[in-house]
Homo-oligomer: A and B are copies of this chain.
Amino acid sequence: MTGIPGFWAVIPAGGSGTRLWPISRRSSPKFLHDLTGSGQSLLRATWDRLEPLVQERILVVTGVAHEEAVRRQLPMLGYDAVVGEPSPRDSMPAIGLAAAILERRDPEAVLGSFAADHVITEPENFRRAVEEAVVLARQGELVTIGIEPTHAATGFGYIRLGEALGVDGAPSAHRVDEFVEKPDAETAARYLETGAYRWNAGMFVVGATTLLELLAENHAEMVDHLRTIAADPRRMRDLWPALQKIAIDHAVAEPAAAAGRVAVVPAALGWDDVGDFAALTTLVAESTDLPGITAIGPTDDILSIDSTATVAAGGRLVALVGVEGLVVVDTQDALLITTPERAQDVKKIVEALTAQGRTELT
């Protein structure tokens, strides 16, 4: 078993995850943490999911500050399997550089880009979807995986399905009519009802060279710079900082979709982007020994009397008496208390700390 021939996994490991503060910090972002209590970090779980598909054909793109932590969590990675970004430039430069590196290693390379900090509970469905996507990518398509929505989420963008493509080896593929932004609740409910929408999880499968060609249509200079860096990494220093900060969605996926050039493989993945503590609360099962308590991590340090809460203990005793519907996150130097309903506003704490100059806590 050697995975899918010629298929490479690219893992952009970036983002600060400020809505998951105080677990997620600038110095130790979300993807490095075992947020779901699975026993392994989100990054490691991502690698575990991809390894059967790609063997050693894997490339992690991360901030230079996190290279060491990434290598500690993934000690099996070879020297050239980690690419360090000198500064965050959003997803397009990160994935574009990976494409430029991969087309030099394998001109026929098809890459699949999957974030380091998402959760997937149906790895078999993921595998089947990727296999279909690779078939389409080999025919020159830019392919995305469209997640079957399980509720009328307002926190994700959506993909509107077009006609079925009827491609051999990719029976579930459709054309993408349009990528649409995060909807309001009413719109989301309508999307769910029509059955024609899928969540956009930012998963793209595409030939390395195809991706760069699509990018060159609107950002030719960026492609030049990325290929220059791939050929001579010493050029990273002078070329990288000037690259436009832009997401792959805006740089490539949306214009290509508008031109009818994007395919989608719908799939039910049990996917979540673990965006905030409300998401975490639904992802983690209630503790069996502490009724009402959803524990992120061990329960030894939690005492609960008549309480319901999601609790991440941080090495000290957390005692709850008669409180309901809280999220409690305890760490060495900071404690957060909020509710699932207000979980989105946790980023405001990080903003306030930054404004106060207390960046050692962010």
The interface of chain A, by Cβ under 8 A from chain B, is 22, 303, 305-306, 316-323, 326, 328, 330, 332-339, 341-343, 345-346, 348-349, 352-353, 358, 361
Contact = CB atoms under 8 A, between A and B. Distances in A.
A338 B332 CA distance: 21
A289 to B, nearest CB: 13
B338 A316 contact: no
A335 B336 CA distance: 12
B323 A338 contact: yes
Given A22-B319, A342-B321, A335 B326 contact: no
A301 to B, nearest CB: 9
A305 B335 contact: no
Nearest to A332: B316
A352 B306 CA distance: 13
Nearest to A334: B317
Contact of A361 (B317, B320, B342, B352): B317
13 contacts: A303-B349, A305-B349, A305-B352, A306-B342, A316-B332, A317-B361, A319-B349, A320-B336, A321-B336, A321-B343, A321-B349, A322-B342, A323-B338
A36 B66 CA distance: 45
Given A318-B337, A326-B337, 9 more contacts: A303-B353, A316-B333, A319-B337, A321-B336, A321-B337, A321-B349, A322-B338, A322-B341, A337-B337
A73 B22 CA distance: 37
Contacts of A321: 336-339, 342-343, 345-346, 348-349
A298 to B, nearest CB: 15
5 shortest A-B CB distances, which residue pairs? A322-B342, A321-B338, A317-B334, A319-B349, A319-B336
A352 B303 contact: yes
A323 B322 contact: no
Contact of A339 (B303, B322, B337, B345): B322
A335 B317 contact: yes
A53 B22 CA distance: 52
Contacts of A322: 338-339, 341-342, 345
A316 B334 CA distance: 5
Contacts of A335: 316-319, 328, 330, 335
A76 B317 CA distance: 37
Contacts of A333: 316-317
Residue of A333, A335, A358 most packed against chain B (CB within 10 A) = A335
Contacts of A303: 349, 352-353
A337 B317 CA distance: 11
Residue of A330, A337, A342 most packed against chain B (CB within 10 A) = A337
Contacts of A306: 342, 345
Contacts of A361: 317
Contacts of A305: 345, 348-349, 352
Contacts of A319: 22, 334-337, 346, 349
Contacts of A343: 321
A317 B314 CA distance: 13
A305 to B, nearest CB: 5
A322 B348 CA distance: 11
Contacts of A339: 321-323
A162 to B, nearest CB: 41
A323 B346 CA distance: 12
